[in-house]
């Protein structure tokens, strides 16, 4: 270092650290910090800071350097409009306020986009579709807009369109007795609606004229018939004007004593959710931790999505061999058995679970690890990627690759969510609009994926094996991702996040030492039968 070659010094100290870690740690940290000061770019500098923090997780200069780089990356991404990258960079920097700010902007943009979809549906006359979407948005974004006026307007338009179409349909079928009251309601609610007035006049006139023709048939001279029909037409026109077009206000003395009538209240009829086509579920139980696994057969599928962020593209073909995946997320009870056998070790500068966190659902009492009361069957949380990886290895398994996880969630048909394409509900997934914490694993059976895996949307984010990177464009077979990186991938959304994150193609990332109250994992066994 005195000769101005901190890189070579760090390399020598890394070798020494392998044999004498206690003696070499402090000098290696200083050499790495010195090398970081001369690094050519942010990526190289960040990698050096990350290495320092693996050696000393509280080293202030490395923490400050990582924070500075993360903030710079986040600011650049935000300026370029790449909100997902900005969010991840601010998360790396530990800038909670910035992460929340970006997430709110993502929600605002999503809301604006979907409001434009509603307007387009209205312009196409698809009022029921527009109303359905508005009702969903009112539940998803109750705090961002007063939805009362929007819903009332769309309910009115939907009701009018329904009455009008039913009236026209009856008129076209020569069922004028049915058409008349339907079109009368339209004219009463909105006199200028489409051509309702003309069709109502036609329905009334034709019905009464046909009846009069029957009475007059063969009984009177033709000129008398013509006069009678003309008088009837004038009478019909007067009645329409008087009843529906403001005649009551012009001639108030003709108004009858008003009677109270009951107007039926419009209600939304719930539609049964269509179930996706699933394969017969094959189960097996892992001997180490008694985890129930489901079999995912070998197949080719399209990975990624054009509906989400840029990191979900390009959509590309992936071929996978068959494998077994845990039916649920690993529980606190299962992770406790692992800790009591292996101990809580430090890796990547942090302990496997963050037991010091108030949110952690595992405690150590009398030298023994145990789940907190009532949480044995909840998913383990506050666990780092290193802890998840170590558990799976102990259990005779491994973390799923990103491709394996997405295929188990979406299937060969490429569903938006594990259960299909219908919007999330609290019966299918645990997200922020539901109760405010984790739920017992496997309790939301309506959210099962095509292969029988549960909880793949919401409850907790799930670590996968891959380093985060851009998708390739070429087809891949059993992809495992790149060998190195700064961030690991998380999938599935969580109890603390908005439902937009539970899409099965959505990608999130964090440093492997990241621990959080909404992060857990599950494992896979490969090849099948092992």
Q: What is the pLDDT confidence band of residue 253, given thresholds at 50, 70 and 90?
A: very low
pLDDT top residue among 146 and 361? 361
Torsion of CA 365, 370, 374, 376, to 10 degrees: 180
Peptide bond into 527 cis (omega under 30): yes
402 vs 99, higher pLDDT: 402
Contact 495, 297 (CB under 8 A): no
The answer to whether 518 and 495 are in contact (CB under 8 A) is: yes
Q: Name the band, by pLDDT with cuts 50, 70 and 90, for residue 48.
A: confident
CA distance 296 to 281: 9
Which of 519, 524, 523 is CA-nearest to residue 501? Answer: 519
| Distance between CA atoms of residues 248 and 253, nearest Å | 8
Q: Give the DSSP letter string of 127-145.
A: HHHHHHHHHHHHHH-TTS-
- List, for residues 320-335, the tens digit of each pLDDT value: 999 999 999 999 999 9
Positions of E strands within 310-440: 316-320, 323-326, 346-347, 350-351, 362-365, 368-371
Higher pLDDT, 221 or 421: 421
Please tell me the predicted confidence (pLDDT) of residue 5: 67
Domain chopping of the chain, boundaries: 6-94, 99-145, 153-254, 292-330+381-525
- Among left, alpha and beta (phi > 0; psi -120 to 50; other), residue 87 is alpha
Supply the CATH classification number for the domain 292-330+381-525: 3.90.1580.10
For residue 399, list its beta bridge partners: none
Q: What is the pLDDT of residue 396?
A: 95
Q: What is the pLDDT of residues 479-528, one digit of tens each?
A: 998 888 889 999 999 998 888 889 999 999 988 999 999 999 999 997 54
Q: How confident is the model at residue 304 (pLDDT cuts 50, 70, 90)?
A: very high
- For the stretch 1-44, pLDDT in tens is 445 566 677 788 888 778 888 888 888 888 888 888 888 788 88
CB atoms within 10 A of CB 514: 20
In the beta sheet, which residues pair with residue 364? 369
Give the pLDDT confidence of 269-297 residue by residue, as tens digits. 333 333 454 445 577 889 999 999 999 99
User: Which pLDDT score, from 0 to 100, does residue 258 have?
Assistant: 34
Cis omega before residue 314 (within 30°)? yes
- Spatial distance between the Cα atoms of 527 and 271, rounded to a whole number of angstroms: 41
Q: Is 78 helix (H, G, I), strand (E, B) or coil?
A: helix
Rounded Cα distance between 397 and 404, Å, is 14
Tokens 């056998």 belong to residue: 341
Mean pLDDT computed over every residue of the chain = 81
Report, as an integer, the average pLDDT of 401-428: 96
pLDDT, residue 243, reads 45
Q: Which of 409, 411, 425 is nearest to 522 (CA)?
A: 409
Residue that the structure tokens 């491994």 belong to: 398
Mean pLDDT of all residues in 92-103: 83
pLDDT at 383: 97
Name the β-bridge partners of 371.
Answer: 362
pLDDT greater than 70 at residue 241: no
Whether residue 159 is predicted with pLDDT greater than 90 in this model: the reply is: no
Render pLDDT for 168-225 as a digit per residue (tens, 0 to 9). Answer: 888 888 887 787 778 877 877 787 788 877 787 777 654 444 443 444 344 444 544 4
**pLDDT at 136 > cutoff 60:** yes
Cα separation, 236 vs 148, in Å, equals: 39
pTM over the 0.75 mark: no
**DSSP code at position 317:** E
Q: Is pLDDT above 70 for 245?
A: no
Q: What is the pLDDT of residues 460-482, one digit of tens each?
A: 999 999 999 999 999 999 999 88
The three-class DSSP label of residue 153 is helix
* pLDDT (0 to 100) of residue 199: 80
Structure tokens at 469: 């990177």
H or E element at residue 302: strand 299-303
- How many CA atoms does the CB half-sphere of 71 hold within 13 Å? 11
Pairing between β-strand 346-347 and β-strand 508-510 as defined by DSSP bridges: unpaired
Those residues whose C-beta lies under 8 Å from the C-beta of residue 489, and which sit 6 or more positions away, are: 402, 463, 464, 466, 467, 468, 481, 507, 508, 509
d(CA 529, CA 395): 14
Kindly state the tokens that stand for 289: 């931790």
The pLDDT score that the predictor gives to residue 185 is: 78
Q: Label the pairing between strands 519-520 and 316-320.
A: unpaired
Q: Over the Cα atoms of the chain, what is R_g?
A: 33
Cα 336 off chain centre by: 31
């Amino acid at each position: 270092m005195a000769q101005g070659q901190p890189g070579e010094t760090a390399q020598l100290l890394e070798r020494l650290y392998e044999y004498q870690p206690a003696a070499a740690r402090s000098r290696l940290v200083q050499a790495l910090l010195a090398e970081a000061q001369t690094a050519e770019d942010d990526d190289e500098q960040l990698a050096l800071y990350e290495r320092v923090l693996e050696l000393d997780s509280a080293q202030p200069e490395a923490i400050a350097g990582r924070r500075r780089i993360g903030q710079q990356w986040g600011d650049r991404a935000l300026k370029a409009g790449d909100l997902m990258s900005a969010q991840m960079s601010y998360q790396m920097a530990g800038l909670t306020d910035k992460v929340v700010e970006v997430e709110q902007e993502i929600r605002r943009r999503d809301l604006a986009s979907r409001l434009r979809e509603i307007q387009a549906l209205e312009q196409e006359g698809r009022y029921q579709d527009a109303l359905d979407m508005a009702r969903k948005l009112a539940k998803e974004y109750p705090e961002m807009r007063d939805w009362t006026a929007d819903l009332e307007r769309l309910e009115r338009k939907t009701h009018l369109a329904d009455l009008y179409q039913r009236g026209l349909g009856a008129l076209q079928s020569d069922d004028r007795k049915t058409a008349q009251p339907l079109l009368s309601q339209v004219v009463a609610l909105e006199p200028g609606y489409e051509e309702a007035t003309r069709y109502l006049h036609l329905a009334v006139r034709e019905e009464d004229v046909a009846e009069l023709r029957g009475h007059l048939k063969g009984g009177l001279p033709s000129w008398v018939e013509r006069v009678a029909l003309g008088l009837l037409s004038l009478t019909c026109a007067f009645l329409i004007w008087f009843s529906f077009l403001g005649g009551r206000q012009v001639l108030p003395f003709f108004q009858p004593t008003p009677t109270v009538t009951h107007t039926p209240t419009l209600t939304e009829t719930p539609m049964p959710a269509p179930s996706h086509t699933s394969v017969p579920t094959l189960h097996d139980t892992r001997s180490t931790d008694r985890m129930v696994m489901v079999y995912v057969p070998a197949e080719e599928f399209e990975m990624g999505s054009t509906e989400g962020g840029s990191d979900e593209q390009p959509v590309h073909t992936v071929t996978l061999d068959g494998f077994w995946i845990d039916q649920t997320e690993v529980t606190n009870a299962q992770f406790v058995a692992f800790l009591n056998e292996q101990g809580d070790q430090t890796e990547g500068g942090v302990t496997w679970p963050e037991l010091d966190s108030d949110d952690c659902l595992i405690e150590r009492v009398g030298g023994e690890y145990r789940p907190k009361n009532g949480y044995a069957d909840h998913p383990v949380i506050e666990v780092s990627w290193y802890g998840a990886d170590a558990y799976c290895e102990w259990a005779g398994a491994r973390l799923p690759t990103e491709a394996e996880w997405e295929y188990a969630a979406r299937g060969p048909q490429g569903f938006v969510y594990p259960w299909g394409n219908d919007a999330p509900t609290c019966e299918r997934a645990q997200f922020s609009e539901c109760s405010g914490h984790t739920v017992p694993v496997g309790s939301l059976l309506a959210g099962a994926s095509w292969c029988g895996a549960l909880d793949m949307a919401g409850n907790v984010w799930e670590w996968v094996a891959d380093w985060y990177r851009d998708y390739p464009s070429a087809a891949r077979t059993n992809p495992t991702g790149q060998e190195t990186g700064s961030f690991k991938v998380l999938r599935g959304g969580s109890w603390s996040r908005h439902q937009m994150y539970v899409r099965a193609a959505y990608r999130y990332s964090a440093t492997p030492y990241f621990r959080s109250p909404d992060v857990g994992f599950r494992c896979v066994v490969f090849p099948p039968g092992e």
